[in-house]
Structure 1
Amino acid sequence: MTQDINIHKHGRVGHISLNRPSALHALTLDMCHAMSAALTEWENDDSVEAIILDHAEGRGFCAGGDINLLRKSALEDGGVAGRQFFHDEYQLNHQMFVYPKPIVAFMDGITMGGGVGIAMPAKYRVATENTRFAMPETGIGLFPDVGGGWHLSRLGGRLGQFLALTGARLDGSECLWAGIATHYVPSEMLEELKARIVEKPDRISGILSEPVGTPPKARIDANADLIRKHFASDRYEDILASLEAAADDGDTWAAKERDTLGTKSPQTCKVALRQLAESEKLDSFAENMAMEYRIASRVLVRPDFAEGVRAVIVDKTNDPKWDPPTPQDVSEELIDSIFAPLPADEEWKPL
């Protein structure tokens, strides 16, 4: 077990509370293992009827995964430790996705990357005015993993492609509008709601629905038609050309999104588009995670990841030198190699 996570039972409810506030509760390998062990124990405990997942304190629900470990692995051990992290984190994502008891994830704060991976499989996903949801991986030469291909490709209106490429942040009401959250409640009511769930775990849906007035208007609704239009293609160059043409005609929204994409890794933007297109055709979440593990195994040790983390997180210079440097330089052969099957004994399989 680890001090970075609090695990309790309250009557008929299991309670997992992330407790790494200095890192906005970003997941370590030990945290993934502790969560998985608790879920396994409670699955086999007939006295446990539901699970609450939240964070102990601070601004984050969960800001992601252990990026420093992943970069260190990419630079020092050829990705061995990084692949182990991805492998076990993906096992947790899958375990939650197929879990037979209802999980209630309280996304009260920053919910990004690895945080999305543990929130989205939950049956109940509760957003608040503090929620900031994003998959910002293309900005550091990574891709929207932890099940992102499955979840984002099924949002509709090309919203998933927009989020995957731009890393745009959604607030709580936008998460509800998009179907990312199942409920929206004011944060001041969370403790009362958790107490009521502990008291009556068979009435979760009703408890979460009762207190809600009208959530704030979802700002992204105003741009839904633009997203559907400009992000319609699975070919990255088409999206860039569409935004460029609109920007030339004076469309300030298109110009802003074009400039945003100009800061992202061309390689992993193309990876993300292929990932979502492939995932949409898959029949099971396990197949998706196997695909994402293949991608992660390759992207981890490609130049863009270590360079992206250096520029954005370590040095904070925000001047990554991408390799390949432009979308045109990212060949289909390179993308094919990233998606290619792994040797049979290295493929990811659910436990």
Structure 2
Amino acid sequence: MSGGEEPVLLHTDGRAAHIVLNRPRALNALNHEMVRRIDEALTVWEDDPAVRTVVITGAGERGLCAGGDIRAVHDDARDGDGSAAAAFWRDEYHLNARIARYAKPYVAVMDGIVMGGGVGVSAHGSVRIVTERSRIAMPETGIGFVPDVGGTYLLVQAPGELGTHLALTGAGIGAADALLCGLADHYVPSAALGRFIDDLADLPVRDVLARHAQPPPRGVLAGRREWIDTCYAADTVEEILDRLLTDGGPEAKEAAETLLGRSPTALKATLAALRRARRQGTLERVLDQEYRVSCAALSTPDLVEGIRAQVIDKDRTPRWSPATLAEVIDADVARFFAPLGDRELGLAGPGTGTEGV
């Protein structure tokens, strides 16, 4: 398949099949059509003996994928009934689970910017490549939302409280820190990516990795583990903030300032989602939970307001409602996890909808 108008380009080269996200002007943001096309391609390739490896990359120079098409979510939440966004998430989360269980090597080239939904189509893969250009983040609290696409499942597996820090602040990380947090597997310099991808046409993935993978440049999170683990182990967002502000370190105070600019409701829902995800056990159960949380977010004022401020008007001054953490009560958080009845995502199967919460 070729042509600049197609949002997903599909082709095979030797033993490798390729998915190229092809909306470079939108930093390859995922829409519903793209999710469907990727899923359809995976179905075809799963049963094709000539395809031994699947590779996903992004068109353009800026990154793999900046996330989901949140303008469409904004419009549906503001002007519609939320059904279009819910249908998109339903198919997207099914795709995330499918990628995690895919029977063939799924090589995600996480070069440049990889955020939100971009993490969902890459970090669940079996072979995840980062470069010195990689910038990986789950920045949802900045738009009044909660990490999804299996993000809470991935982040709670990071060492100590690193995942809590990344989820609440939305901070971006580079190659070494992505490897430390379990969001990536191998470092390949960006200059070698062309040869790396070319070699996948002829060689097994392990042989290509042996040829091109290298140690990454030094990261920053390993040196911040002490204050991160101490501060983010607290039971409430208020206590986390208090610990960050009294820790004394400049990085901790910077994290506190970041949190103070995030949606108070989203922060509390995110912390609850992370703590619950630790008890869920499987990706499918966590995705079921994330679907409940995402659908509930559609009816909160902060999602529309956050996307307006960050993406549409770009004034970067969201007016959160409630405006403070103290005003967000337990019932406000609990509603994010309410069962959806016959609208449940259902990835974990019947009878598992609210267990472990």
- Length-normalised TM-score, structure 2: 0.93
Q: Contact 2:161–2:232 at 8 Å: present in 1 too?
A: yes
Alpha-carbon distance between aligned partners in 2 of 1:18 and 1:151, rounded to the nearest angstrom: 22
Q: Contact 1:8–1:16 at 8 Å: present in 2 too?
A: yes
Q: Which amino acid aligns with 1:9?
A: T
Which residue does the alignment assign to 2:222? 221
Confirm or deny that 1:150 pairs with 2:153.
yes
Confirm or deny that 1:37 pairs with 2:30.
no
Q: Contact 1:295–1:338 at 8 Å: present in 2 too?
A: yes
- SS for the counterpart of 2:88 is helix
How is 1:150-189 mapped onto 2 (pairs within 5 angstroms)?
150-189=153-192
Shift of 1:204: 1.0
Shift of 1:37: 0.2
Residues 258-313 of structure 1: CA deviation (Å, up to 9, x unaligned)? 11101100111111111111111113211111111110001122100000111111
Q: Which amino acid aligns with 2:235?
A: D
Which residue does the alignment assign to 2:287? 289
Q: Which residue of the other structure, out of 114, 126, 131, is the alignment partner of 1:128? A: 131
Q: Which amino acid aligns with 1:196?
A: D
Which residue does the alignment assign to 1:97? 100
Which residue does the alignment assign to 1:299? 297
- For residues 233 and 55 of structure 1, do their structure 2 counterparts lie closer, same or farther at Cα, with a shift above 3 Å needed? same
- SS for the counterpart of 1:278 is helix
How is 1:163-312 mapped onto 2 (pairs within 5 angstroms)?
163-200=166-203, 203-246=204-247, 250-312=248-310
Alpha-carbon distance between aligned partners in 2 of 1:269 and 1:44, rounded to the nearest angstrom: 43
Shift of 1:171: 1.1
Shift of 1:339: 0.4
Q: Which residue of the other structure, out of 307, 316, 324, is the alignment partner of 1:318? A: 316
- For residues 181 and 157 of structure 1, do their structure 2 counterparts lie closer, same or farther at Cα, with a shift above 3 Å needed? same
Shift of 1:85: 1.1
- For residues 197 and 146 of structure 1, do their structure 2 counterparts lie closer, same or farther at Cα, with a shift above 3 Å needed? same
Confirm or deny that 1:23 pairs with 2:21.
no
Alpha-carbon distance between aligned partners in 2 of 1:283 and 1:179, rounded to the nearest angstrom: 16
Q: Contact 1:128–1:173 at 8 Å: present in 2 too?
A: no
Residues 181-203 of structure 1: CA deviation (Å, up to 9, x unaligned)? 10001111111111111101xx3
Alpha-carbon distance between aligned partners in 1 of 2:126 and 2:45, rounded to the nearest angstrom: 16
Alpha-carbon distance between aligned partners in 1 of 2:88 and 2:212, rounded to the nearest angstrom: 39
Q: Which residue of the other structure, out of 338, 341, 344, is the alignment partner of 1:340? A: 338
Shift of 1:20: 0.5
Q: Contact 1:141–1:268 at 8 Å: present in 2 too?
A: yes
RMSD, aligned CA: 1.5
Alpha-carbon distance between aligned partners in 2 of 1:66 and 1:206, rounded to the nearest angstrom: 36
Q: Contact 2:30–2:69 at 8 Å: present in 1 too?
A: yes
Shift of 1:208: 1.6
Q: Which amino acid aligns with 1:272?
A: T
Residues 66-87 of structure 1: CA deviation (Å, up to 9, x unaligned)? 1000000001112111111111
Q: Which amino acid aligns with 2:47?
A: N
Alpha-carbon distance between aligned partners in 2 of 1:153 and 1:75, rounded to the nearest angstrom: 32
Alpha-carbon distance between aligned partners in 2 of 1:163 and 1:184, rounded to the nearest angstrom: 20
Alpha-carbon distance between aligned partners in 2 of 1:106 and 1:267, rounded to the nearest angstrom: 34
- Length-normalised TM-score, structure 1: 0.95
Alpha-carbon distance between aligned partners in 2 of 1:44 and 1:275, rounded to the nearest angstrom: 36
Q: Contact 1:27–1:64 at 8 Å: present in 2 too?
A: yes
Q: Contact 2:15–2:200 at 8 Å: present in 1 too?
A: no
Alpha-carbon distance between aligned partners in 1 of 2:198 and 2:32, rounded to the nearest angstrom: 30
Residues 49-70 of structure 1: CA deviation (Å, up to 9, x unaligned)? 1101111222021000010000
Which residue does the alignment assign to 1:59? 62
- For residues 212 and 74 of structure 1, do their structure 2 counterparts lie closer, same or farther at Cα, with a shift above 3 Å needed? same
- How many residues of Structure 1 are paired with residues of Structure 2 in the alignment? 345
Residues 294-351 of structure 1: CA deviation (Å, up to 9, x unaligned)? 10001122100000111111111111111111111111111111101012x2110249
Runs of 5+ unmatched residues, structure 1: none
